[in-house]
Structure 1
Amino acid sequence: MSPFAKKTTWKFCFELHKCIPNSEIFSRKGVPLKKVVKQAISKSYTDLLVIHEDQKKPNGIIFCHLPEGPTAYFKINSLKFSKDIVHCGESTSHNPEVVLNNFNTRLGHSIARMFACLFPHDPKFTGRRVIEHDEANDEFARYFNRETTPKVLITMSPFAKKTTWKFCFELHKCIPNSEIFSRKGVPLKKVVKQAVSKSYTDLLVIHEDQKKPNGIIFCHLPEGPTAYFKINSLKFSKDIVHCGESTSHNPEVVLNNFNTRLGHSIARMFACLFPHDPKFTGRRVVTFHNQRDYIFFRHHRYEFKKEGQKAALHELGPRFTLRLKWLQKGTFDTRWGEFEWVLKRHEMETSRRRFFL
């Protein structure tokens, strides 16, 4: 770090030390940086990181690859320590997998290779094993291990209008073991606490704009995550031509075309709303179909033709489309919560062939 660094800079050094295997911290004091480089080379270090500070806080970092370079200087922004992150986990001593994403230019390739050189070659998990390990230990694991039974609470914006209530009742028809709660003026964080205390496993909050549903918050309980989706193209059951009547049978759930790590998380969140064992005698099917990051919701029943060799789909409604806006760790907390993913359209939607789910 800089000579005579303050407490916050030391703290940042220890955080980096946790992340980077085979790393050591050196108190520089008044030693010139060129002399530090020579000493590091003589002791066979392969990389040198120097933390700069301004106003007693880390504000920059020098990466120097040894013994011949190159050297790069980066500005540090939006620094958040582990203890300030909600529901932060404990680090282990295993070698991490390194993901270097979206370094597309010649300069980007050089920077990515510099970052890669900081970490050992043999991560503890690789490829599909990483996903399997994450899914076995994520917030949805208890549901997929059949340790919990879904119990869903559906609520809405304070003083919601008739159309929003109608949408809540339509969702209530689709999701077994769900209940509707009139929120009135109760703060959402208090609703989350009440839902956890009453053993609900999921919370759905319908937002409205101009007296119509325009968004939905999915909050998996008790530990999150929380996601917000924009609602488009909503069509109620009565507006669908030849719409059928729903039954109380547990539906089969179809999750289609969720291919990325983020997509897997969203698909698992949807799956947690429904009981494990569908009753196939009811022939009900709930489909979440992802196409170009738009999630199409459909609710059908299989119908068999008289000859018994062909089947058709009879739509039960409702029908709508979801667009993921953000995903947050933990339960609802837009002020202090840690966002895993946020849609920034003008920055992220640079190519028609790039999709996130």
Structure 2
Amino acid sequence: MKTFHEKLTDRELNPSMFKIISLILNFNQVLKKSTKLCSWFAFLQVISEIIETCRAHDFTDVVLVHEHRGQPDGLIVCHLPFGPTAYFGLLNVVTRHDIKDRKSIGTMPEVYPHLILNNFSTKLGQRTANILKHLFPVPKPDSKRIITFANQSDYISFRHHTYEKHGGPKSLELKEIGPRFELRLYQIKLGTVDQSEAQNEWVIRPYMNTAKKQKILGD
């Protein structure tokens, strides 16, 4: 009988379940070796129990992926022990399993990545960038791994690359290794994800979706 991971590799799971599990595994790989970050399968776990366990073991962050009918549609980043918690819509998800040329992307690097945070110029944008960047430890100067969070019209594009310099500083080969997706911020609250009474620091309002010129995160 095949193990769960063997079934995942051979795509023998239900297609809708495969998509969400692939993304969770991708997050686990992207954030691998981050300082005490928790990202596990929580299908049958109570959120309050997860947070309590993570606090007891000095975890710094919890990342939760929400899905609807097997499609990942939400991401929650909760900083421990006291918050804040950021809630994002999740769009246009392409996991590493979805990339056709699997050999070209290779294995996931374990070095800490350099971060590019582009166009988070407003006060809320800077707050959002700080929440995202503290998921990752400080990299070594010679790290050749790059993670980009690029804001355009309040949609944050996540991209993950490695690079090589084959012919000196002017010859740069950039390779996307996945996953990739877009985030849409809709709430930040001051407490942790299990605290329903926690105060909202910011929440999107209905009129914000229809305002043509208003940019909440950057220019």
Q: Shorter chain as normaliser: what TM range?
A: 0.7 to 0.9
- Residue among 147, 159, 164 paired with 2:20: 164
TM-score by length of 1: 0.52
Deviation at 1:228, TM superposition (A): 0.8
CA shift at 1:280, angstroms?
4.2
Please name the residue that 2:8 is paired with. none
Structure 1 counterpart of 2:177: 316
Task: Give the structure-2-normalised TM-score.
Answer: 0.82
Structure 1 consecutive aligned stretches of length 4 or more whose deviation exceeds 6 Å:
none
C-alpha distance in 1 between matches for 2:71 and 2:123: 32
Aligned to 1:191: 50
Whichever residue aligns with residue 162 of structure 1, its letter is: F
Matches within 5 A, 1:75-224: 161-177=17-33, 178-224=37-83
Tell me what 2:99 maps to: 240
> Counterpart in 1 of 2:135?
273
**Equivalent residue number for residue 337 of structure 1:** 198
Taking a change above 3 Å as real, the CA distance of residues 308 and 290 of structure 1, as seen in their structure-2 partners, is closer
Q: 1:306 to 1:229 in 2, by over 3 A?
A: same
Q: Counterpart of 2:189?
A: 328
> Structure 1 residues 307 and 348, CA, compared in 2 at 3 Å: closer, same or farther?
closer
Distance 1:199 1:284 in 2: 27
State the secondary structure of the residue aligned to 2:105: coil
- Residue equivalent to 2:123: 261
> How large is the Cα RMSD of the aligned pairs?
2.0
Where relative contact order (Cα < 8 A, 6+ residues apart) is larger, the structure is 2
Gaps (5+ residues) in structure 1? 1-159
For the 8 Å contact 2:116–2:147, the answer to whether it is kept is yes
In structure 2, what is the Cα distance between the partners aligned to 1:348 and 1:307? 47
> CA contact under 8 A between 2:47 and 2:194: conserved in structure 1?
no
Write the distance in 1 (CA, Å) between the matches of 2:90 and 2:195: 19
Q: 1:349 to 1:305 in 2, by over 3 A?
A: same
Task: Look up the match of 1:37.
Answer: none
Q: CA deviation at 1:312?
A: 2.8
Once the two structures are TM-superposed, the CA of residue 307 in structure 1 deviates from its matched residue by: 5.6
Q: CA deviation at 1:254?
A: 1.2
Q: 1:343 to 1:356 in 2, by over 3 A?
A: same
One-letter amino acid of the counterpart of residue 339, structure 1: N
Tell me which amino acid in the other structure corresponds to 2:60.
Answer: T
Whole-angstrom CA distance in 2 between matches of 1:289 and 1:182: 28
Retained in 2: the 8 A contact 1:224–1:329?
yes
Name the larger-Rg structure. 1
The 5 A counterparts of 1:292-307 are 292-306=153-167
Q: Assess, with a 3 A threshold, how the Cα gap between structure 1 residues 238 and 164 changes in structure 2: closer, same or farther.
A: closer
Mapped partners of 1:219, 1:313: distance in 2: 31
- Equivalence for 1:252: 114
Change (3 A) 1:161 1:257: same
Larger strand proportion of the pair: 2
Percentage of pairs with the same residue: 33
